[in-house]
Amino acid sequence: MEPVPFDKRSGKIWYNGKLVDWKEANLHILSHGLHYASCVFEGERVYNGGIFKLREHTNRLIYSAERMGMKIPYSAEQIDKACKEIISVQNVKNGYVRPVVWRGSEMMAISAQKSQIHFAIATWEWGSYFDPQIKIKGIRLDISKWKKPPPDCIPWDTKASGLYMISTLSKHEAEKKKYHDALMMDYQGNIAEATGANIFFTKTNSNEIHTPIADSFLDGITRRSIIEIAKQLQIKVLERKIKLEELNKFDGCFLTGTAAEVTPVSQIGDINFAVVDMIKKLDDNYSKLVNKN
């Protein structure tokens, strides 16, 4: 069965302070957020009816908006309350929440100082980002030709829509080659992340995980959670610059993200990895953490 398109679904969306019918939650074609990417968003997971680390996501959303020169017309407390309200209205028990902020259609030019700031929250039931059977074996990553821009060129530490253009290009190109996702480099040629998830590598003999320094891409909330879990498990965590040439020195690899959760990687280019016990242990502990809600 084909999935229902997102504009054809039923229920309510929280839109500028009101519950609006799903199909009526629209914006004008000349909205600034569409034409000039003045839009920020969050991705949040619902486990057992509760949103994992809701306030951290809300704080990041507010920060992202401020970095883009937009002031959300709601407090963190009001945003949290609205997120909880919409998952209750939609009766989402295990799913996804998408708060989104954008500039409206009052002005259509590069400058849009007087445009209204809009805010909406949608939610839906959603399982694994990758097929569960594929996830057990580990996903395969292409190596993208697109690099993360230098940090002095973009607001790299935000979840802003414009930053995902090269991610979409990279993932589409990977899928055409029958890969599941793509590995992206930073502007200096170091390993950065996948198209929408952070990346870790394991050295089980030395009880270590290695991950790139988040200095040109988003320091994910799941990424930080996994680092905390690893430290609790007495696993050494090294955040550092990692070169492509080092890939064959690692025995395992995995992605982390709100959508991806903990996803093992079996291959990057022509380098193979095992789904080692360390990854399974981190995944198990992450699952226990998120299901405390």
- Residues taking part in catalysis: 159
In this structure, what DSSP letter does residue 187 have? T
Query: Residue 288: how many CB atoms within 10 A of its CB?
Result: 10
Strands 191-194 and 181-185: antiparallel
- Apex 195 CA angle, 193 and 199, nearest 5: 30
User: Which tokens belong to 247?
Assistant: 């890939």
Three-class secondary structure of residue 1 per DSSP: coil
Q: How many Å apart are CA 179 and CA 89, to the nearest integer?
A: 37
- Residues near 234 by beta carbon (within 8 Å), at least 6 away in sequence: 207
Question: From start to end of 163-235, where are the E strands?
Answer: 181-185, 191-194, 198-203, 208-211
Token digits of residue 154 = 């973009």
> In whole angstroms, how far apart are CA 66 and each of 62, 72, 89, 159, 264?
6, 8, 29, 11, 34
Q: Which helix or strand (DSSP H or E) is residue 203 part of?
A: strand 198-203
Residues 233 and 282: their CA atoms lie apart, in Å, by: 9
* DSSP-assigned states of every residue in 29-78: TT-HHHHH--EEE--EEEETTEETTHHHHHHHHHHHHHHTT---SS-HHH
